[in-house]
Amino acid sequence: MNYTYRIYPTTDQQALMLEWLETCRRLYNRCLRDLKDWIASRKCSLYSCSLNREYIMSPDILFPSYLEQKRQLTQWKKTNPHYKAVHSQVTQDCVKRLHNTWEAFKTKKFGFPRFKKFGRYQSFLFPQFAKNPIQGNVINLPKIGFVEINQHRPIPEGFNIKGVRIVSRARGTVWYAVVTIQCDVKVPAPLPFGRGIGIDIGLESFLVTSDNLRIEPARFFRELQGRLKVLQRRASRKKKGGKNWELAQLKVARLHHQITNARKDFHFQTSHQLCDQADMIFVEDINFNMTARGFLGKQMLDGGFGQFRDLLSWVCWKRGKYFAQVDHKYTSQVCPECDAHTGQKELRERVHHCPECGYKTSRDHASGRVILNRGLESVVPMDCRERKPSAECVLPGIAISR
């Protein structure tokens, strides 16, 4: 579990932390360079073999794995004072981060790790703490010292601090400490019980539940987006790299930060509102990244639905409510009353009208109910689910044998 606290480093501390980030970024890119070179040297493109640039590497050189690069890091530290200046576990974690990305690319079909541009490496992690680093209103970070922290909520009893990630936002002017805490006792996941609702995440409204509750996107987003546009236009007129440009960029970054926070807050409030109403919550298992790239475009990204679903599942867990995702296919093409397929609806068609049973409601509401039905089907207790098909299967079999 992660708790995020705002921290207020002094100017010197900020400069030091920014330097660390830059060192980590270079280390990350250097390791990635080695990784890429190794892969390129082992590739044989038979028909497009270029004569002027082939990577040739001795076959004895091992694949630059995490352990291998960690070993090299100790060598580099002897010659490079920058690497030495950063806390050793932080640099090790930097190498690990690259290899996590690499593993995700291999196993989960995520993107190939990319080089990080200046300013795009925004956090570093202290993976271990022997004892609680937070004392009162300061946090004691190795090699950085005591940093003022706003501990707006205490760390619960019985939890240990596992690691602290320092995050820089808004061009290094706003800093956070993300504290990972761990409890020795394992909390079981909530079991399905009680009243359920299905949630259709939509375009017109932010979401619609199976009870036909509509939640609209918060209005201030529009205003903030408008202001963002103005600032961006202003920033684009400044001469790149100049002092005014830097200031304008900072303003844009701060507003972005404000929008992100406002959105997260809205998502939290909505999650709690939904948890107030039901004991089981079902949502679709849409891959929002894919949808955002496609026809729905910016609106989808704007809503941050992926983040909302993650937060919702977390809030459900915390409040002991059951959360599950159901198959999203054809939710808008099935009638919630009689299960009939009503065929594909156009995007602009906002009403569900079933030709079979005459059920009529808004399109989003119908999808919400379909999601609820599917969710309830998925949580039917095991013994009931097994009994039903076996009874159906055995009887006709006996009939035939006679």
- List the structure tokens of 21: 């980030």
Decide whether 40 or 340 has the Cβ nearer to Zn ion. 340
Amino acid at 245: W
Least distance to Zn ion, CB of residue 204, Å: 22
Decide whether 303 or 336 has the Cβ nearer to Zn ion. 336
Least distance to Zn ion, CB of residue 335, Å: 3
State how far the Cα of 311 lies from the Cα of 267, in Å rounded to an integer.
Answer: 7
The answer to whether the CB of 378 falls within 8 A of the CB of 326 is yes
Decide whether 302 or 337 has the Cβ nearer to Zn ion. 337
Binding site for Zn ion (CB under 5 A): 335, 337-338, 340, 354, 356-357, 359
Least distance to Zn ion, CB of residue 280, Å: 24
State how far the Cα of 275 lies from the Cα of 211, in Å rounded to an integer.
Answer: 13
Decide whether 293 or 353 has the Cβ nearer to Zn ion. 353
Decide whether 297 or 355 has the Cβ nearer to Zn ion. 355
Decide whether 350 or 353 has the Cβ nearer to Zn ion. 353
Decide whether 99 or 365 has the Cβ nearer to Zn ion. 365
Element (H, E) at 283: strand 280-284
Decide whether 71 or 353 has the Cβ nearer to Zn ion. 353
**Please, what sign has the CA dihedral across residues 23, 29, 33, 34?**
positive
Least distance to Zn ion, CB of residue 375, Å: 19
Residue at token pair 């496609």: 294
Least distance to Zn ion, CB of residue 359, Å: 5
**Which residues, 6+ apart, have CB-to-CB distance to 146 below 8 Å?**
138, 139, 140
The answer to whether the CB of 175 falls within 8 A of the CB of 9 is yes
Element (H, E) at 123: strand 123-126
Amino acid at 199: I
Element (H, E) at 237: helix 220-237
Decide whether 34 or 337 has the Cβ nearer to Zn ion. 337
Strand-pair category, 322-326 with 351-353: unpaired
> What angle do helix axes 88-108 and 66-79 make, rounded to 10 degrees?
150
Least distance to Zn ion, CB of residue 326, Å: 19
Least distance to Zn ion, CB of residue 337, Å: 4
**Please, what sign has the CA dihedral across residues 183, 189, 195, 196?**
positive
Least distance to Zn ion, CB of residue 352, Å: 9
Least distance to Zn ion, CB of residue 331, Å: 14
Cα torsion through 352, 356, 359, 364, rounded to 10: -30
Residue 25 CB neighbours (<10 A): 20
Cα radius of gyration (the chain): 27
**Which residues, 6+ apart, have CB-to-CB distance to 51 below 8 Å?**
none
Half-sphere exposure of 37 (CA within 13 A, CB side): 14
